[in-house]
Amino acid sequence: MFGLKACLSGGLLLLGAAVTEAKYIVPGARWRDTDGNLVNAHAGSVVLDNGKFWWFGEYKVQGQEEGGGVSVYSSPDLATWTYHGLALEPVNGHPYIAPEMIIQRPKVVYSESTGQYHMWWHADNSSYGLLLQGFATADTIEGPYSFVDATAPLGNWSQDFGMFTDYKDGRTYALYSNGDRREGRDVYLTSYNKEVTGLDEVVYRFDKFDLEAPTILQTDKSYYALMSHKTGYRPNNVVAFRADRLSGPWSQPWIVAPLNTRTFNSQSGFTLRIKGNRKTTYLYLGDQWDSNSLWESRYIWLPITIDDAKKTLEVEWHDVYDLDVKSGKWQPIQGREYLAIDAKTSGNAFKQEANFASRGTIVTGIEGNDSTVTFSGIQGTGKPQWVSFYYQNTDDMGFGDQPGGSPDRIGGSWQLRRIASVVVNGNAENVETLYQRDTHKGIILSTPLQLTLEKGSRNTITVGGLFNGFHYKGADIDRIVVYPPEN
């Protein structure tokens, strides 16, 4: 149904009229706020309030999983983000929001009845033993929010937490997985009371699918619920269910992205409906977790294609796209491709037959700074440009020659990423780090970097390998795609 190649080359087609002004959205890049800091709002949710988008997420402290609180950013266009600090700050000694507690998957909704903003999240201790829903309120959307309570929803357990407001009747629902124990492993959809201060009744239970990271989106005809499997911070195949009514019957689940891409290396968590004056666009807001360094985890935001007649939904990959939130229209940006088969290798790096790669060839054996691949004749503009590196990392949950680790085997450890070095025009003083997460054997994914090339067509880009804690190997390289600058 998908065909990765078709899907990726589809990314080069231009859709519709030119979109103005908006900055590009680049899934998986290091996203920076207007102060230049990395956006730190993981497992986030976005709400539109008075014409502005507000992104709430888990603020991850370097070296820690818990304790960071909830950060909040605002944006006029979903591409430029301004930091407003912590909306919910950890409080020392507090039973639920102390720095050693889990504050995950925050969601915010405006309550007409109380005239306040209500924040709900997964509240827990660091061993995930409490399984509660936290509740805090604020008079303004950016907070600060004051803690109200942490409760068990209708006496049940609650782990990964989602929230959904029906645009037809304004009713808000909680969506939560009830933990990993055998008595749990369901996902509940439960309505809130009118005030959104507590839960009312269970509307549906996704029974024993053992899924998490749930989110619901709504079209004029359907509801779609997206959820991931449970592999911690490792990505897997996100699935979707469809229904005419929230109370069901819900369909069988299906996989939303090309097989074996593990949802383009991401976990679900939120979906955003952008109702423009020309078009309604749906975005998948996923997390590309980096379990070596959670705070640096990236965001994979992608357009969703829905066919209500066929009852299908797919998440589409695009390296770089331009979204106009006013019209609701978006278009992929077209880049220029340079294939590894035409590039030059050094040292032990070499070109190898790979029937799934561009023109049947991939460069492998990249390691350190003496076994590299160099692309040349690259056209540049002298301004910062996005460059996508298409790679294959076959570590697959382990690395063969490490003690206790081996690809796809019992007891294998998840390597998660190789790190490549990227050097422009041989300038070894300026080495960029390119994280290359596991793909799968035969699966080529891309990851972007913003580079400044010289004006003209004489640029070179050299890819080598950097130390990832185990070795200096870079992933195999298929091609690079160079995108035009934003302005």
Binding site for ligand GLA (CB under 6 A): 43, 104-105, 160, 212-213, 232-233, 267
Strand 330-332 and strand 102-111: pairing?
Answer: unpaired
* Per-residue tokens: 453: 């090339």
> Cα 196–145–298 angle (5° rounding)?
95
Give the distance between the most distant pair of CA atoms in the chain.
Answer: 68
Least distance to ligand GLA, CB of residue 35, Å: 27
Least distance to ligand GLA, CB of residue 471, Å: 26
DSSP calls for 4-22 = HHHHHHHTTS--SSPPPSP
Query: What is the C-alpha to C-alpha distance for residues 176 and 189, in angstroms, rounded to an integer?
Result: 7
Least distance to ligand GLA, CB of residue 295, Å: 14
Instruction: Give residue number: closest CB to ligand GLA.
Output: 232
Query: What is the C-alpha to C-alpha distance for residues 270 and 43, in angstroms, rounded to an integer?
Result: 8
Query: What is the C-alpha to C-alpha distance for residues 424 and 463, in angstroms, rounded to an integer?
Result: 9
Could you tell me the CA-to-CA distances from 140 to 20, 111, 440 in Å, in that order?
A: 31, 12, 45
Least distance to ligand GLA, CB of residue 294, Å: 9
Query: What is the C-alpha to C-alpha distance for residues 247 and 240, in angstroms, rounded to an integer?
Result: 16
Query: What is the C-alpha to C-alpha distance for residues 303 and 74, in angstroms, rounded to an integer?
Result: 20
Query: What is the C-alpha to C-alpha distance for residues 225 and 214, in angstroms, rounded to an integer?
Result: 7
Q: Which is nearer to ligand GLA, 142 or 212 (CB)?
A: 212
Least distance to ligand GLA, CB of residue 234, Å: 8
* Per-residue tokens: 395: 């570590």
Least distance to ligand GLA, CB of residue 99, Å: 17
Q: Which is nearer to ligand GLA, 233 or 470 (CB)?
A: 233
CB-CB neighbours of 75 under 10 Å = 18
Q: Which is nearer to ligand GLA, 213 or 343 (CB)?
A: 213
Least distance to ligand GLA, CB of residue 45, Å: 12
Q: Which is nearer to ligand GLA, 232 or 377 (CB)?
A: 232
Q: Which is nearer to ligand GLA, 105 or 185 (CB)?
A: 105
